Amino acid sequence: MNKKSIKRLLPIIVGCLLLASSAQAQEPNFSLYHYTPFFTNPGEIGAVEDTRVMLNYRNQQLDLDENITSSSVSAYYPIYIGHNRLVTAINFLNDKNSEFLSSNGGMLGLSYSLKTTKSSELSFGLQAGFFQRKIGEGFTTDEQFVNGVFDPNAISTDAVLNQSVGYPIISGGLFYKVKDDLGLEKAFIGASIFNVNGPNISLMGDQKDNLPMSIKGTAGYRVFRGGNFSVLPTARWVYQAGNSFLNVGSRFAYELSQSGENAKKIELGIWYNTNDYGVFSLAYEQPSFTLALSYDKTIGTELGSAQKGVFELAISFRLQKKEKPTFVEAAVQEVIGPEEVAVEEIDDAAETMEEVEEPAAPEQKVVEEETTAPEEKPDVPEEVAVSKTTFTPAEKAILAKIVNFDLNTYDLDKESKAFLNGIADILREKEGFEIELVGHSCDLGSEKVNKFLSLNRAETVKDYLVGKGVDINSIKTVGMGEEVPLEGNDTPEGREHNRRVEFKVVY
């Protein structure tokens, strides 16, 4: 077929491309969908925890050397409000369906992430954008050939060429995510609706060609984590214009370092797409940088004859690390304001928190608790309290023990209260001593919050002992934060033992 014949068939080719691409306009379904919140779920924008820039590129090779490409750049900026998060984002997209049909535009996204528990959050997201869809210029038709010679001044009257249309789109979604104690992804589920306004994207004058609404769902649950290796099966379902497809597979991760949210890992992804594709991906992730590649290989023979495969690239850069407030820090901010908790403010904040959370005075606690049934006490040797001025070996052994706390809390459990009952029995009988309560934390969270948290643990133990009749003037409190770990912070057990209060007796 010669060049002139191709030019004669151009309007027909363009018309076919318009029909084939109308369902995909402004909605490329990236295979690396967990790196494309704008095209997977607007609610997932709220899961971004640091200031980031993401780049995405998709190239789908067709027969006759035609390519469908999608290029996207997006930026995300989270704002922490207490322990919740508001994320603002912007995206620019170039979607090229062929050599002469393309779409360009941008979107603004807004997502609010609500902390539901210490390890989970629910995000609500909305996004709106404006796009222009157009047929490229510079193509010729028969009307521009005069006596077999091309006349550049001749104007084509073909209604298809050199046309464009602009239109808005609106989308929304919900996204729920769960992390483990290390801050690593454990499970997620999300649902979203795209193009809810159904805009007309026709390039043919008064004709109607509404962009169809689409529904997308994603889910994943980590079924195994042992040592440095983890397995997280995932699924994505997409329904659009009466058609649907499903991605089913898994992500296999190997952690190069075990530092919670600061971990570095290599991840392999394998999925099956019910449109007869096999999807393979490889990613390297660290806190400040992510690089991911994927390739979609056709499995069905019909598709294989027309398509040569799909290549994708995803790159993410962290521009600014955001301090992530814990439940404790959020409570402090509600009392002293949204400013960052400073070390010099910790003492005043702790006293304020006592007034907010413990309205009853210690003396009232004694009266109330003495009227209740006798509390459980630990086994204490009979030789305790032999002397009022010194501590016996048995008493010293009891004081050498510690009180442990759950992550991000300074609450006493039943077992800790029973232990402190025995400590109070010893201290009430002693004279001429001073006891120092030293609070500690693990290394999860910011240093300033951990400092505040450790001090409040010591203050909580002090309040309980005073409530049991121990002289308040004989007790001092110190918060060491994460500075003096009892064990390594590289295991859940080690971090659990480090969240503690120790007893030091000074004569």
Residue by residue, DSSP assigns 161-180 as TT-EEEEEEEEEEEEEEEE-
DSSP 197: T
Q: How far is CA 283 from CA 45, 222, 267, in A?
A: 20, 17, 5
The amino acid at 118? K
Which residues does the chain have with pLDDT short of 50? 1-26, 144, 157, 159, 327-373, 377, 380-386
Q: Which residues contact 431 (CB under 8 A, 6 or more apart)?
A: 388, 389
SS3 label, residue 54: strand
Tally: H helices and E strands in the chain: 10, 21
Task: Tell me if 294 sits within 8 A of 280, measured CB to CB.
Answer: yes
pLDDT of residue 355: 44
Task: Give the pairing type, strands 403-404 and 434-439.
Answer: unpaired
Residue that is written with structure tokens 């002139």 in the block: 4
The amino acid at 322? K
SS3 readout for 469-482: CCCHHHEEEEECCC
Here the contacts of 71-78 (C-beta below 8 Å, separation 24 or greater) are 72/28, 72/36, 72/38, 72/39, 74/37, 74/38, 75/51, 76/45, 76/48, 76/51, 76/52, 77/51, 78/48, 78/49, 78/50, 78/51, 78/322
H-state helical runs in 149-307:
301-306
The tens digit of pLDDT for each residue in 402-422 reads 999 988 888 888 889 999 999
Residue that is written with structure tokens 């001025």 in the block: 389
The tokens describing 51, both together, are 């200031």
Task: Tell me if 496 sits within 8 A of 182, measured CB to CB.
Answer: no
The tokens describing 268, both together, are 């392999």
CA dihedral sign, ordered 62, 63, 64, 65 = positive
Residue that is written with structure tokens 């318009």 in the block: 18
Q: Which residues contact 402 (CB under 8 A, 6 or more apart)?
A: 486, 500, 501, 502, 503
Confirm whether pTM is higher than 0.95.
no
Rounded to whole angstroms, the Cα distance separating 225 from 232 reads: 9
The tens digit of pLDDT for each residue in 185-207 reads 999 999 999 999 999 888 776 77
Rounded to whole angstroms, the Cα distance separating 70 from 24 reads: 11
Cα–Cα nearest to 22, from 344, 253, 349, 243: 243
Rounded to whole angstroms, the Cα distance separating 190 from 188 reads: 7
Can you name the residues that pair with 436 across neighbouring β-strands? 476, 504
The tokens describing 1, both together, are 């077929």
The tens digit of pLDDT for each residue in 21-54 reads 444 444 678 999 999 999 999 999 999 999 999 9
